Each structure stands twice: as structure tokens, then as C-alpha cells.
Structure 1
Amino acid sequence: MSWSAELTEALGRDNVITDPARLRTYECDGLTGYRVQPAMVVLPRTADEVAAAVRVCARHGVPFVARGAGTGLSGGALPVADGIVVSLQRLRRIVEVDPVNLRAVVEPGVTNLDISKAAAPYGLYYAPDPSSQQVCTIGGNVAENSGGAHCLKYGFTVNHVLAAEVVLADGTVTRLGGDSAQLPGYDLLGAFIGSEGTLGIVTQVTVRLLAKPAAVRTMVADFATVAGAGDAVTGIVAAGIVPAAVEMLDNLAIQAVAASTESVYTPDTAAALVVELDGPPDDVAEQFDEVQEICRRHGSTKIMLARDAEHRALIWTGRKAAFAAVGRISPNYFVQDGVVPRGRLAEVLGRIAAMADDAGIRVANVFHAGDGNLHPLVLYSEAEGQHDRAERLSTEIAELCVELGGSLSGEHGIGADKACSMPRMFGEDDLATMLRLRSAFDPDGLCNPGKVFPTPRLCGERPGPYRPHPLEEAGVIERL
């Protein structure tokens, strides 16, 4: 029996997609510049069905790629042409909310925001909050070790996951971690989180829940220059203040937000900082005044304080809509995800602006300024033939972050997008060690192949937007 027939028998015909038109839905994630159509998509409903699908792949040597909501921005869920996509969208149960032990048990298709909604009646919430938290799923967050606006104070996914049930590359189901955050032995859970789907597929996650803070204060500070806003961020952290969030938007990002949502941001300001403090009311009040003074000292031209919860929500709606809003001012864009030391924010933003001018490409900046996690949006038009130029600029920005003492990625992952830049950050021995760990989990390389590590195929013939063959352009052949 063929592997496709085995998968259909194991999962049922209604849970398998082979129709070419429907397969196109899965040909990319949020990084739409790269597209590959898989041979098949399977839609398991339980962890047992995920394991059954993986066992079929292991027997026949078929590569597989796990996929959640498809909101990833590094090509981490990019399919393999001769392989399958294992969609986890049907595993969306909240198994348990345990307010006594401050944890919840959920399946990988559950969204971040739904965890917080389920915990809200107990005065609890789930801290990691990527901008796409309404749609991004916990399985994808585990794969990428996602963060979000509040990661400056509360950390990333790895800081909030206690345990995970996973299906390994041979179909074995195992559990990593446990009920306690501190366990003896090797930290296999820590290795799995952020491995971008290359070590296995998560089928259940136990997450930490936190008590909602007693007080929250939010402000937006305008600056006449991007450099001034960057210096203010450095000043806030240098003063010993750890805000819940410090976000920055430049003017291009603010214009995009204004074009797509009800915006509270000043349209003509060069840059805006969103600063949020939370904690005990007296501490928050004292530090809030100090943050305002630091912003004024670094050239803030206007400070707007959130009047109430509704006004605060409008501030965050604009910030979290920024990526999607850029679609209003550019038909196509790449999103980068490099990290630099906070003290070099002003320098790196100036360098990015100069690089953009040299390339003749616009770059909008909206990012987690508190921990130096940049999200430059490289704007271009595919129709005007700007894709390759924009892609080069995007790669150069990521590698610039490494040059300045930072990292290729803060939370979006390496995926297919930045795999060829890995040697800029890691030596041969480093990469070889990482590959040994990966091989221990997946010796045959079937689990999300072609991601994270540079390969001749990936770096020589990168997947990308379809380019017609000359015979197709001449009308001799047709694309199927």
C-alpha cells in the first residue's frame, strides 16, 4: 500500500486533502514570498491520529511539516513538495484550567487569547502575547518560542511552559517537562521549545498562568527623531525600571496604522513610544512619573496618558495592527526580526534608514524596543520587480543585527527565511552541535526539513515566488 493510501486509511478520507486547489491554502505561512505546494495535507483530530500519521511518514521516508494557524513570519511552516503538512487546527481543546496550581492544559490549536479568556474568571491570564494573539496558536508559539509586547518583563513562551506532550519523528508519543518548573536532568523541554518543529510535533501543552496585575498604566510619548525615542528606551531601563512593555513605531508605521484603524497616534510625529507599567498601584504611580520625565529629558514632544481601559485598548489595537496595516501602504513586504543591544537602538535604526535609501526601498519600523527586538518591515512591489532587491535588504538588516552584537531572530524564528545567514552568527562547531541534537530526535531528517540550518538546496535554490518559464511566457506550455 502506498503511503498516501495508508494515511487516508489511518485518518479517514474527510481528514486528508489532496485536491491541488485546496492544497494551495497551505503552500505558505505568513511569509508569503515563499510558496511550496505539499503532496498532501492531513487534519488529525487527536494526538493519536497525529502519531499515526507520523508513523506512516517514518515507515515510508516521507517528510512532514507541522502547521498551526499559519501566522509564522519566517517560512517555518513552508511545506516540502514531496511531503505532507500536518495541520493541528482541529486540536483546539482547553483540557483543564487549574487556578489552584496556576496552570492550564491545552491542545496546540488553542489561541493565546483563548487561554487568557478561559483563565479570566479566576483572575488569571497567560502572559505571552504576540501581536497575532487572537489567531496564533500555542503549538506555533512553542515551536518558535514566541514573545510579544510584554516579553520585556514576563519573558517568552519558554518561561511559561511547564510540560508538553510531543510526537517524535518515529511516531513515539512522549512527555517533556513536568508539573514543576524545576526538574532534575537534561532540559529536553527547553531544547524542544523554539526548535521550530524540527524535533517533533507538540500535541498538548501545560502552561503557567499569572495573576492579573493590580494596576496598569499606559502612555504614548512622541519624539521628533527616531534616535531620541531609542535613547529614551535606554534611559528608562538604565534607571532600573522594568516596564511591562516598551514598543516603538516610526512615522511610516504610524501612517499605516492611521490608514487602517481608529488611531490615537500623532500622524506627523517621527516616532512614538508605547510604555506600559503594571504591578502594585503605588509602585506603578511613582515609576510612571519617572518614565515621563525620562522621555521629556530625551526630547519627547508630547505625552498622551491612557485615560481608561477603553483608551488603553485603542493604543494597543493600533500597535498590534501595525503589521497588517502596512498592507494599506505597500502591496508586499518582508518582516524582519533581528535583535540588537538596547544601547545600539539609535545606531541600528540610522543604519537601516541609510541602507533603505541606498536600496531605494522603504522600511517601516515597529518593534519591541524594550529588549531590542526589531521588526523592520521592508516594503516593496512584486509587480514592479522589487522582490529580489527587497529580499537582499531584508537579509542585510538581519545580518547587521549580528554585526552589532545581536541576533538573527528574537521570536519569529529562522525558518527558511534566515537559514542561509546562520553562519554569520554561529561557527561550524556550533552548527554541528545543533545538528547532532536534531539528529538525536530525528535521525532521518523527516521533521520539517530544510529549516533553520543552511543547506546547498536552500541557499542555492531558495523557494520563492513563482517565476514563469520562458516557454510558458511564449505560450508554448501551460502551468498546471
Structure 2
Amino acid sequence: MEKDKMISELVRLVGKENVLCSDMHLKLYEYDASLIRSKPDCIVCPTSTEQVSKVVKFAHDHKIPVIARGSGTNLSGGSVAVRGGIAIVLTRMNRILEMDIENLRVVVQPGVVTLDLKNVLARHGYLYQPDPASEKVTTIGGNFGENSGGPHCLKYGVTSNHVLGVELVLYDGQVVEVGGKALDNPGYDLMGVLGGSEGTLGIVTQAVLRIMPKAEAVKTMLCIFNSIEDGGNTVTAIIGEGIIPATLEMMDNLTIKAVEEAYHVGFPTDAAAILIIELDGLKDGMERLTERILAICRQHNVREIRVAKDQAERDKIWAGRKGAFGAVGRLRPNYLVNDGTVPRTRLPETLAKVVEIGKKYKLPIANVFHAGDGNLHPLILFDERDKDELTRVHAAAMEIMKLCVDMGGTISGEHGIGVEKIQGMSFIFSASDIAAMKKVKAAFDPENMFNPGKVLPETEKAA
């Protein structure tokens, strides 16, 4: 279909104010937070499920690819239009539609910013647990598409554990409800299929979310170590004692220095590693649990322990953790983030090998990660203007993915496969595995119009 005709029809369907097609807009939407670049043919910013349905039906009728997108914080190229088509940007669908506090649920549109929802709930004494580091800008729809986690996913689970149901636009424009407000809905668990599907199966236009009361008590500790190995062993020991903190977050020395230079939060720049431990729950027993944690830290050579005395000190610690990616971004023009997972017991060994990979490819690598569930975030620093360096970055990233698999883990914990990790799918899935997933994709999207070129490789290779 000619582009001018496509734009005219989209304007007719959703209004001129909701269609963007200038060169400037196409340039703005050609990228996300990954290294992938590719322009859509047009951008549509719908304000309702009805508009999304109309656009999808139009795209289906004319065999045009459709890419759903939120704030564009995707770290694997999942929201980039690698085959052109219509980018459906859902940020204008940003309303909280229903707050059912008594039944611990809310209904939201996909463009609601995660932190905005948290702030609204906090005024009522409740919270929504998933807390990706980009929560200031990331959207609920994007979180569900990636099945995002965050520091508190150790205790409370990832996004899909908090989404009870969705309203979904199918490939032909039909609108269906999957899951819902009731517990234990009968039928197939399609919610389990949709969570983390990266916009390849349909477009979510509403979501029913699980919320919970704020904890009575919270205790936040900053534990300082002279070696990453001691920090990693502390994590293993805490979980091994049957203690599940709300968070167990770790940073290495390069990240600590970057954070301190950027935010001045009081992190010791001579430390090899810091571990942020947070407990939450009932007041009764909190001090005893804290003492158990501190004793374990001392058994594993902790250099210093700082327990936050009030909310201000807690906020300062978390400002450093939440701002880590931005702080590291100041060190070089670009970074590529891996997010493989490994068994907790192999964290020290894996991190040592990541350092070796950095040396092999002559690239600095900063590490900040969800230590409690073994979800690594090596940030490989580089300058994309240096083509040789860019080649080395991709080689290092592939080697780190393979390392995580060899350690008994997987290639992605929460950032998705997108484009950047497609080659790594053969590390963990057989040709039969991938063929089975393609059948699921075909059942939802028989014409491969939703986010084509993402998640699944074009050809199956045995793992």
C-alpha cells in the first residue's frame, strides 16, 4: 500500500492529532534503549481500545506490520520497527480506570507509568510491587510485554505474577478478555503465554493488576565488601538460611564509583562490592531477622554495615541503585546491557569470568544486578562510532550469554529477547522447542504482523 494512502486512512480512523508521520517523528521513533535502529512507516498514538482495534484491523487487511510501543525503554530492540510498518504508541492510554482497594486490584490502561501508579496507591497505603529501575518512565504495558522484574522481584515475583487479566486486541482487530478479576479462572492459562511475549501475540489495551498493603516495617542495609566473592557468598548464605529478603542487590567497584560521582549518595569508592539488603513485613520479629542477616554478613567478611535510620537514608541508598544505569552511562558514549541469569551459588565464578571477557575484548564492563535471583546486568561500555569496538561489543555480549547458559542459567531474566538476543535462543532451545513456540505464535498471529523479526529466530538450530 502506498504510504500516502496509508496515512490518509489512519487519519480517517483515529484523527489527524493521533497520527505522526513527519521525518522528525520517524527519526524519534526509530530507536529504543538498545543499539537497534529502524524507522517505522508511520506512528499512531491511539487513545482508546476502539482506536487500537481499528488500526490493527486496517493493518491486517493490508498486510502491514504492527509494533506496539510504550515509553521506548526496551533494552533489546523489542520496540523498534525492524520491518517498517505502523508503530502503535500507547502512552496516551494512560488512565487508571478502576481502583478496587477492598479486593486488592486496579484496572489500568497500558500507557500508565509504573511510578505514577505506585504514587497514587501509596496515598491509600497500598503498593504495586514490580519496580524496574526505569519505573519513572516505563509503562505497565511494556512491563507486561517484557515480564519485567526489579529489585523486589526476589520476594514478590515479576510483572506477570501481578497481572490478573488483560484486554487484548488480536491480529484481526477482535478484542478479547484473557484472565480477569476473579481468581482461578477456568480454561487454558493464556496469561502465562502473554506475559513476556514482547508484543508478538497481540496488543494489551487494559490490565487488571494485583496490589497489596504497604508493609508495617522496612529495614534497609548497605553492606560493604572487599571482594565480590564475599558479597556473592553472603547472598547464597542468606537464601540458604531460608531467609527471603525483599531485595538483594549488588554493585561492583566500577558501578559504585560511577554512582558516587553522579549522585553523591555516600557509597565507598574503594569497595569491591556493595550489597543492598532490604527486609519488609511485620514489625514483630523484624529486629531479630535483621540480626540474623547481619550475623551472616559478618561470617562472610563484610567490611562495614550501614543500617538506614530513617526514610531519608533509605531513599538515598535506593537513589544510588535506581540511578546506576544512568551513572554508568556517563562513563562512555554507549553501553550494551546483558541480563542473563545464573544460579546464585555460581555468582562469584560467573562475575570473575565476565571480567575476563571484558579483558579479552578490551572493553570495560560494569556490573549491577539482582543478586538474590542471580539476574546479572553486565553493562559493556563502548563508543558506537568506533566500528571495531562495536564488533567487539557484540562478540562479548554473545560470549556472556553463552557463559550464563554454561553456568546453568539462561540468556535473559527480564529485558526480553527482542532483536539483540535472538541468536542466543539456540543456546537454550532445541529446533523442536523453537518450532513449538512458532506454532503458538502462529495461533495468535497467523500472518506474523505483530512485532515481526523479534524473539524467535527465522530458522531453528539445535541447542
Q: TM-score, normalised by structure 1?
A: 0.93
Partners in 2 of 1:81 and 1:136 — Cα distance?
Answer: 24
Secondary structure (helix, strand or coil) at the match of 1:73 reads coil
The reply to whether residue 160 of structure 1 matches residue 168 of structure 2 is no
The residue number in structure 2 matching 1:104 is 106
Secondary structure (helix, strand or coil) at the match of 1:179 reads coil
Secondary structure (helix, strand or coil) at the match of 2:455 reads coil
The reply to whether residue 28 of structure 1 matches residue 8 of structure 2 is no
Asked if 2 retains the 8 angstrom alpha-carbon contact of 1:232 and 1:295, the reply is yes
Query: Per-residue deviation at 1:376?
Result: 0.5
Partners in 2 of 1:41 and 1:115 — Cα distance?
Answer: 26
The reply to whether residue 423 of structure 1 matches residue 426 of structure 2 is yes
Partners in 2 of 1:147 and 1:276 — Cα distance?
Answer: 16
The residue number in structure 2 matching 1:452 is 455
Amino acid at match of 1:197: G
Secondary structure (helix, strand or coil) at the match of 1:122 reads coil
Query: Per-residue deviation at 1:294?
Result: 0.9
The residue number in structure 2 matching 1:91 is 93
**One of 10, 15, 20 as aligned partner of 2:18:** 15
Asked if 2 retains the 8 angstrom alpha-carbon contact of 1:3 and 1:56, the reply is no
Change (3 A) 1:132 1:82: closer
Which residues of 2 match residues 389-404 of structure 1 at below 5 A? Answer: 389-404=392-407
Query: Per-residue deviation at 1:109?
Result: 0.5
The residue number in structure 2 matching 1:474 is none
The residue number in structure 1 matching 2:416 is 413
The residue number in structure 2 matching 1:132 is 134
- Write out per-residue CA displacement over residues 64-123 of structure 1, whole angstroms, 9 at most, x where no aligned residue: 100001111111101134311000010000111111111111000001112222222321
Secondary structure (helix, strand or coil) at the match of 1:328 reads coil
Asked if 2 retains the 8 angstrom alpha-carbon contact of 1:339 and 1:407, the reply is yes
Partners in 1 of 2:435 and 2:117 — Cα distance?
Answer: 37
Asked if 1 retains the 8 angstrom alpha-carbon contact of 2:65 and 2:86, the reply is yes
Partners in 2 of 1:359 and 1:302 — Cα distance?
Answer: 34
The residue number in structure 2 matching 1:328 is 330
Partners in 1 of 2:254 and 2:75 — Cα distance?
Answer: 20
Partners in 1 of 2:304 and 2:207 — Cα distance?
Answer: 43
Secondary structure (helix, strand or coil) at the match of 1:367 reads strand
**One of 420, 441, 444 as aligned partner of 1:441:** 444
Asked if 1 retains the 8 angstrom alpha-carbon contact of 2:37 and 2:82, the reply is no
Partners in 1 of 2:296 and 2:61 — Cα distance?
Answer: 62
The reply to whether residue 388 of structure 1 matches residue 391 of structure 2 is yes
The residue number in structure 1 matching 2:71 is 69
Partners in 2 of 1:82 and 1:347 — Cα distance?
Answer: 42
Partners in 2 of 1:249 and 1:195 — Cα distance?
Answer: 29
Query: Per-residue deviation at 1:181?
Result: 3.3
Partners in 1 of 2:206 and 2:359 — Cα distance?
Answer: 47
- The alignment-based identity, stated in percent, is 46
The residue number in structure 1 matching 2:306 is 304
Asked if 1 retains the 8 angstrom alpha-carbon contact of 2:340 and 2:404, the reply is yes
How many correspondences in the alignment?
A: 457
Query: Per-residue deviation at 1:305?
Result: 0.9
Asked if 1 retains the 8 angstrom alpha-carbon contact of 2:132 and 2:149, the reply is yes
Asked if 2 retains the 8 angstrom alpha-carbon contact of 1:39 and 1:84, the reply is yes
The reply to whether residue 197 of structure 1 matches residue 199 of structure 2 is yes
Amino acid at match of 2:385: A
Asked if 2 retains the 8 angstrom alpha-carbon contact of 1:262 and 1:314, the reply is no
- Write out per-residue CA displacement over residues 367-415 of structure 1, whole angstroms, 9 at most, x where no aligned residue: 0000000000001122333111011101211121111111111111001
Asked if 2 retains the 8 angstrom alpha-carbon contact of 1:200 and 1:447, the reply is yes
Report which stretch shifted further, 230-239 or 108-117: 108-117
Which residues of 2 match residues 262-411 of structure 1 at below 5 A? Answer: 262-385=264-387, 386-411=389-414
Asked if 1 retains the 8 angstrom alpha-carbon contact of 2:83 and 2:453, the reply is no
Report which stretch shifted further, 444-453 or 76-85: 76-85
Query: Per-residue deviation at 1:3?
Result: 3.1
Partners in 2 of 1:455 and 1:24 — Cα distance?
Answer: 27
Which residues of 2 match residues 208-287 of structure 1 at below 5 A? Answer: 208-287=210-289
Amino acid at match of 1:168: L
The residue number in structure 2 matching 1:59 is 61
Gaps of 5+ in 1: 460-480
The residue number in structure 2 matching 1:3 is 6
Partners in 2 of 1:403 and 1:80 — Cα distance?
Answer: 30
Asked if 1 retains the 8 angstrom alpha-carbon contact of 2:147 and 2:159, the reply is yes
The residue number in structure 1 matching 2:180 is 178
Partners in 2 of 1:156 and 1:202 — Cα distance?
Answer: 17
Amino acid at match of 1:25: L
Secondary structure (helix, strand or coil) at the match of 1:221 reads strand
Query: Per-residue deviation at 1:335?
Result: 0.7
Partners in 1 of 2:341 and 2:67 — Cα distance?
Answer: 27
Report which stretch shifted further, 114-123 or 147-156: 114-123
Asked if 1 retains the 8 angstrom alpha-carbon contact of 2:147 and 2:414, the reply is yes
**One of 168, 171, 175 as aligned partner of 1:169:** 171
- Write out per-residue CA displacement over residues 217-237 of structure 1, whole angstroms, 9 at most, x where no aligned residue: 000111111111111100110
Partners in 2 of 1:399 and 1:71 — Cα distance?
Answer: 25
Partners in 2 of 1:116 and 1:82 — Cα distance?
Answer: 35
Amino acid at match of 1:428: A
Partners in 2 of 1:262 and 1:23 — Cα distance?
Answer: 38
Gaps of 5+ in 2: none
Query: Per-residue deviation at 1:307?
Result: 1.4
CA root-mean-square deviation: 1.4
Report which stretch shifted further, 110-119 or 311-320: 110-119
Asked if 2 retains the 8 angstrom alpha-carbon contact of 1:97 and 1:118, the reply is no
- Write out per-residue CA displacement over residues 43-83 of structure 1, whole angstroms, 9 at most, x where no aligned residue: 11111101111011000000010000111111110113431
